[in-house]
């Protein structure tokens, strides 16, 4: 029986998030969807992660519309998938059941099929409720076990080269993240109802040799399909994906050519070449993939300002292009080395393949630090902002200490940001001569307190007391959740800020981003109403009248006849060119329901009438301009 490899395409979500800061707009997505309908992928990741936040914050687009549009255009030809953080969904605190269920219900109603659920601590208690709800609502729960490694022990004294100074000499200590650890998490997910198990290697840390032992154990331990997700940042992604295929992985996460490699997942086209040589059938229409690839090249050009790499991989069509003999041989060598579990030679071959096609080289700092690339770049940016780049090396080598102190948490959103930021703070504390953890973020306090869940290793009570003031673990109280207010907006006709359940869920999940986004939507909608058009017309008329009045006043050169009180003009009793005598009635107006006459204060000739019957005028506004002063009547 021919082995078949199912593909989960990440291009429109994780791919663009990893490489282009999730800036691909809806009109670019719309160009791709007709071809995705033809592509026949097992699954397409279109939502979750940073999408709900970024499309509102930076693109002014509705996240739900992105999901609905994909569902309508793909027409069920592929499963649509999204990523969420269990009880935290897209936020940083756990939500009550009502919010979690409401979110999943709307997501499935809007076209979502598979929800990949992970927890930053691999705490299965944090994902149990999500798995149960998704199953009950008819969705497919995908249990993602976050891959991580035990931190490298280090000594304070540093000698030798940069990497040795950074990470020091290794010491033996008890390992926590063994194959058995991940197998038990996978079995726990399946027991609670997960229909897919994903080994989620968010930092690209799983090396090929490790996968050669771990993948067979996962396949043997669970009866549901196993998916492998990795990134190429440290340089192992392509080789580890090949190793996963050889050891029977059911589903592989990939990106299409111009959105692959680097800090993203491996390029599907390279995987296709490997599979063709292995006799493995890639379950996708590669001709349709070629059409998507053509569109992606132009789309990437439009994302230049957010492109982390800038240089494109060389053009390649695996269905039409013939590889040079020496490059073709590299694929054969990689396969042979993978089967022999010769990791060093396997990595050399895969790096040579990626180098030939122009994909980014491995990031050695990230590789040896064993942290996600995004975590490293965030630390660099944070230190630049603080003008303290000189402590980067110290902050990097403090990551293992902070991880251990905080219960050896995996480094994935949000724990990667929390640990990275705290390592920076400890490095700055030491630079200033302060004790470690003199400065600590609220999120680090919450992590140590227990609000994010159970850490892989129990936090020492004395450390918890040092950080939080209490030695015992205190879980997050979901009863403290306060639902956001959905105010009426009098400035936009009195409508509610959130108009439906979808929009209110955005307020619940991402309030600081959703509020300005929804305010802008209500403003745009109000501008299309008759009430707004009348308001604008009235304002324009008033502005025009004011402009005309100002111009009229500016043109007055002679003396004027004014009323002592504001009111409405009833009758103008003279016309331009008339001679008037002093004391002659010239105009009648109504003020305070009484009619009053204006008498000429001088003899002269009427030059201009400045008002007309029915016009409302203010106190002392000029009514009539007199051309010249004549001899006074006696």
Average pLDDT over residues 310-320: 94
pLDDT tens profile 57-70:
999 999 999 999 99
Q: Tell me whether strands 567-572 and 616-617 are parallel, antiparallel or unpaired.
A: antiparallel
User: What does the pLDDT look like over 441-486, one tens digit per residue?
Assistant: 999 999 999 999 999 999 999 999 999 999 999 988 888 888 899 9
Please, what are the domains in the chain?
4-320 (3.20.20.70), 371-479 (1.10.472.90), 482-526 (no CATH), 559-629 (2.40.50.100)
Task: Tally Cβ neighbours within 10 Å of residue 348.
Answer: 16
Q: SS in 3 state form for 570-628? A: EEECCCCCCEECCCCEEEEEEECCEEEEEECCCCEEEEEECCCCCCEECCCCEEEEEEE
pLDDT band, very low/low/confident/very high, at 629 (cuts 50, 70, 90): low
The alpha carbon torsion through 430, 432, 433, 436 (nearest 10 deg) reads -40
More confident residue, 629 or 147: 147
Residue in 285, 302, 319 with CA at minimum distance from that of residue 35: 285
Q: 32: which residues sit within 8 A by CB, 6+ positions away?
A: 11, 12, 292, 295, 296, 299
| Number of residues written out for the chain | 634
pLDDT for 28-53, tens place per residue? 999 999 999 999 999 999 998 889 99
Say how many CA atoms lie within 13 Å of 270 toward its Cβ.
37
Cis status, amide bond into 39, omega within 30 of 0: no
Strands 594-599 and 585-591: antiparallel
Higher pLDDT, 543 or 356: 356
- Annotate 12-51 with DSSP letters as a single string: IIIIHHHHHTT---HHHHHHHHHHHHHH--SEEEEEETTH
| CA-wise closest residue to 192 among 247, 240, 132, 260 | 132
Whether the CB-CB separation of 551 and 576 falls below 8 Å is answered with no
Please report, for residues 125, 271, 453, 456, 631, the alpha-carbon distance to residue 86 in angstroms, rounded to integers and kept in the order given.
9, 31, 11, 17, 94
The C-alpha angle with vertex 417 and arms to 438 and 481, in degrees rounded to 5, equals: 90
Q: 156: pLDDT confidence band, cut at 50, 70 and 90?
A: very low
Confidence of residue 628 (pLDDT cuts 50, 70, 90): low
Query: Over the stretch 371-429, which tens digit does the pLDDT of each residue have?
Result: 777 777 777 777 888 888 888 888 888 888 999 999 999 988 888 889 988 999 999 99
Q: Alpha helices of 224-372 — where are they, by DSSP H?
A: 237-246, 268-278, 286-302, 325-339, 343-357, 364-369
622 close to 553: Cβ distance less than 8 angstroms: yes
Give me the phi and psi of 152, to 5 degrees please.
-70, 125
Check if the beta carbon of residue 211 is closer than 8 Å to that of residue 343.
no
Rounded to two decimals, the pTM is: 0.83
Question: In terms of C-beta distances under 8 Å and separation of at least 24 residues, what long-range contacts does 500-503 make, across chains too?
Answer: 501/102, 501/106, 502/62, 502/64, 502/106, 502/110
Separation between Cα atoms, residue 443 and residue 423, nearest integer Å: 13
Best CA proximity match to 432, nearest among 467, 404, 391, 398: 391
Answer whether residue 79 shows pLDDT above 70. Answer: yes
Residue 173 is predicted with a pLDDT of 60
194-198, 223-227, 364-368, 460-464: which range is least confident on average? 364-368
Q: Which long-range contacts (CB under 8 A, 24 or more apart) does 520-523 make?
A: 520/60, 521/62, 522/489, 522/492, 522/495, 522/497, 523/492
What would the two tokens of residue 161 be? 């080269």
pLDDT (0 to 100) of residue 370: 79
13 contacts 49 by C-beta, under 8 angstroms: yes
Task: Considering only residues 467 and 593, tell me which one the structure prediction assigns the higher pLDDT.
Answer: 467
| Residue 564 neighbours by CB under 8 Å, 6+ apart | 619, 620
How far apart are the C-alpha atoms of 181 and 160, rounded to whole Å? Answer: 35
Distance CA 532, CA 493 (A): 8
User: Percent of the chain scored above 70 by pLDDT?
Assistant: 95
A 10 A CB-CB count for 450 gives: 19
Q: Please say whether the beta carbons of 217 and 183 come within 8 A.
A: yes
How many Cα atoms sit within 13 Å of 631 on the Cβ side? 1
Residue from 216, 150, 599, 615 nearest 399 by CA = 150
Q: Of 31-35, 86-90, 596-600, which one has max mean pLDDT?
A: 31-35
- For residue 218, the cross-strand partners are none
Look at strands 616-617 and 604-609 and give their pairing. Answer: unpaired
Which tokens sit at 612? 């007309």
Interatomic CA distance for residues 170 and 368, integer angstroms = 12
With cut-offs at 50, 70 and 90, classify the pLDDT of residue 23: very high
pLDDT in tens, 162-191: 444 444 444 456 789 999 999 999 999 999
Position of tokens 């002659």? 584
Return the pLDDT at 487.
95
265 vs 237: CA distance, rounded Å:
7
Quick check: 586 and 624 in contact, CB under 8 A? yes
Burial class for 621, CB neighbours closer than 10 Å (0-12, 13-18, 19+): middle
d(CA 553, CA 544): 14
d(CA 393, CA 469): 30
- Taking only the tens place, the pLDDT of each residue in 566-581 is 899 999 999 999 999 9
pLDDT at position 363 is: 86
Nearest to 233 by CA among 125, 354, 414: 354
DSSP string covering 393-452, please?
HHHHHHHHHHHHHTT-----TTHHHHHHHHHHHHHHHHHTTPPTTSS--HHHHHHHHTTT
Which DSSP letter does residue 255 get? Answer: B
Q: Residue 157's pLDDT is what? A: 43
Tell me the average pLDDT across 78-100: 86
Range from 122-131, 242-251, 554-563, 612-621 carrying the lowest mean pLDDT:
554-563
Per-residue pLDDT tens over the stretch 611-626: 989 888 888 888 889 8
365-387 confidence digits (pLDDT tens): 778 877 777 777 777 777 888 88
The count of other CB atoms within 10 Å of the CB of residue 374 is 22
């Amino acid at each position: 029986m021919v082995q078949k490899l199912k593909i989960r395409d990440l291009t429109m979500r994780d791919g663009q998030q990893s490489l282009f800061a999730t800036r691909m707009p809806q009109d670019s997505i719309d160009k791709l969807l007709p071809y995705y309908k033809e592509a026949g992928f097992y699954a397409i990741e279109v939502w979750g992660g940073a999408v709900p936040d970024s499309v509102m914050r930076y693109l002014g687009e509705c996240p739900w519309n992105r999901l609905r549009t994909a569902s309508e255009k793909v027409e069920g030809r592929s499963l649509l998938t999204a990523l969420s953080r269990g009880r935290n969904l897209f936020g940083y605190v756990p939500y009550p059941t009502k919010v979690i269920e409401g979110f999943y219900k709307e997501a499935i109603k809007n076209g979502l099929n598979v929800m990949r659920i992970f927890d930053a601590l691999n705490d299965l208690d944090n994902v149990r409720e999500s798995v149960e709800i998704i199953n009950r609502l008819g969705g497919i729960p995908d249990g993602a076990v976050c891959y991580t490694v035990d931190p490298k022990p280090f000594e304070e004294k540093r000698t030798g080269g940069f990497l040795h100074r950074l990470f020091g000499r290794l010491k033996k200590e008890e390992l926590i993240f063994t194959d058995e650890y991940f197998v038990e998490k996978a079995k726990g997910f399946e027991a609670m109802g997960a229909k897919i198990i994903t080994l989620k290697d968010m930092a690209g840390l799983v090396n090929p040799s490790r996968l050669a032992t771990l993948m067979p154990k996962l396949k043997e331990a669970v009866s549901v399909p196993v998916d492998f997700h990795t990134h190429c940042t440290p340089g192992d992604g392509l080789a580890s994906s090949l190793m996963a295929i050889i050891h029977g992985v059911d589903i592989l996460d990939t990106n299409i050519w111009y959105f692959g490699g680097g800090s993203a997942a491996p390029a599907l086209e390279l995987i296709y070449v490997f599979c063709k040589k292995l006799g493995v059938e890639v379950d996708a229409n590669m001709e349709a993939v070629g059409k998507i690839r053509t569109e992606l090249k132009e789309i990437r050009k439009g994302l230049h300002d957010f492109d982390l790499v800038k240089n494109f991989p060389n053009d390649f069509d695996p269905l039409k292009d013939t590889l040079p003999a020496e490059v073709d041989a590299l694929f054969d060598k990689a396969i042979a080395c993978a089967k022999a579990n010769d990791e060093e030679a396997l990595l050399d071959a895969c790096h040579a393949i990626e180098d030939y096609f122009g994909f980014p080289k491995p990031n050695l700092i990230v590789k040896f630090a064993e942290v996600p690339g995004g975590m490293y770049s965030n630390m660099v940016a944070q230190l630049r902002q603080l003008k303290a780049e000189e402590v980067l090396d110290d902050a990097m080598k403090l990551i293992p200490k902070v991880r251990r102190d905080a219960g050896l948490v995996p480094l994935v959103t949000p724990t990667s940001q929390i640990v990275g930021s705290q390592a920076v703070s400890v490095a700055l504390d030491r630079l200033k001569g302060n004790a470690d953890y003199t400065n600590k973020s609220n999120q680090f306090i919450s992590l140590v307190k227990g609000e994010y869940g159970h850490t892989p290793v129990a936090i020492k009570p004395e450390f918890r007391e040092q950080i939080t003031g209490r030695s015992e673990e205190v879980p997050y109280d979901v009863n403290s959740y306060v639902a956001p207010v959905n105010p009426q907006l009098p400035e936009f006709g009195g409508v509610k800020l959130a108009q439906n359940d979808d929009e209110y869920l955005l307020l619940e999940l991402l309030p600081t981003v959703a509020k300005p986004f929804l305010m802008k939507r209500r403003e745009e909608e109000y501008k299309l109403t008759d009430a707004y058009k009348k308001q604008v017309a009235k304002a324009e008329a008033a502005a025009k009248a004011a402009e005309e009045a100002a111009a009229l006043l500016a043109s007055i050169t002679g003396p004027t006849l004014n009323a002592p009180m504001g009111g409405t003009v009833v009758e103008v009793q003279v016309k331009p060119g008339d001679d008037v005598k002093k004391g002659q009635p010239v105009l009648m107006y109504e003020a305070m329901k009484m009619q009053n006459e204006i008498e000429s204060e001088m003899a002269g000739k009427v030059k201009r009438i400045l008002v007309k019957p029915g016009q409302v005028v203010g106190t002392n506004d000029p009514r009539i301009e007199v051309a010249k002063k004549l001899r006074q009547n006696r």
